[in-house]
Structure 1
Amino acid sequence: MASPSNDQLSAPSLSRQRLFITSHSADAKAIVHSQNDFQWHPFDNDQMAFSLLYSTSQFPPDLNNDADITAHEALLQKPMRLVNESGTFLRCVDFAPSYKCAMHRTQSLDYGIVLTGSIDMLLDSGEVHSLKAGDVVVQRATNHQWVNTSDTDWARMIFVLQAVEPLMVGEATLEEDLGEGADLLPESQV
């Protein structure tokens, strides 16, 4: 799905944000390599949108000769995925008012930070936790659902996702499960 132009942001009520990527000059001084507005990809009938801000494709990342930037730019030319099996993703996600995504689990360790709005995190155990701007969640291959609790305001979160080894709990392997509506999201891994 093509990115909407900046005039067609999924959440026009939220501020436009820019991404700054740094590098180094030939004399080893810090410089800004690039700066761009977030590029949004709408999903689920425009009720949610992703912006992939940065990625790494190895651990530890190789910053020499901007190899990480080159790898990130190459990854942007491929279909969007939820998890990078060989590195990390830094992603911003917007949730429409009253939007509820499907209960889902990815094979990843996710650091989530609420930037704007309020959102509930529902777990498959039945637990519900209300998060507000500034709250942080660490999800460890967690089966969860996001619910924007506002009838009028968009919510925005930022996530860092890292692929993980298959999770075993007792004798059970907890598999990835993208839930109902999985066809409305990008593939998890390719």
Structure 2
Amino acid sequence: MDYKRRILTAFNELALQRGFSGVTMDELATRAGVSKRTIYRYFNSKEEIIDTLLNDILSGFEQKILQMLDSCENPVEKISNIIKIVPRITEKLTPAALHDLHKYYPHLWEKIEQFRARRIQHLFDDLLLNNKYRCFKSVNPKIFTTALLASIRSVVNPAFIIDNNLSVEETIQTLFTIFLSGIVLEE
């Protein structure tokens, strides 16, 4: 494993335990088995490490979403499959890490928000506009996705999850159950 990957892996392991703000460069150097000088050779700052890690997570998430979308035809099944993989991917970002992003790195949190908005907008616009399986009620996709995104921002955020002692998985599944029950036609 190259130094850069080793540093990122070590940082991720430490961040899972303490959140991003709890990781010091000394601890990171020890965990990665490199000097602080080596860390700074590859990354200018802790923020750059977090940004790189976040980009890796979002890129991996994007790939998994695309695989899920290609793996089946039924739109309800596509949504269900995506809902199932979200918690597996977000487990790399604990509520404490998400809270740190939200509080200390708002521009990186915004990157997550933009990613969520872009993916959800694309997914539901496509599914609701191309309702060839006739499994969704006729609703305006813009209104649906805007309402869903607003709900996600309100509910799938660190403060709400921590304050209500929820898991990311439970929060996402409940929210999507509420929304899908509202648009799926009765059989």
| TM-score of the two chains, using structure 1 as the length reference | 0.22
| TM-score of the two chains, using structure 2 as the length reference | 0.22
State which structure, 1 or 2, has the greater radius of gyration over its C-alpha atoms. Answer: 2
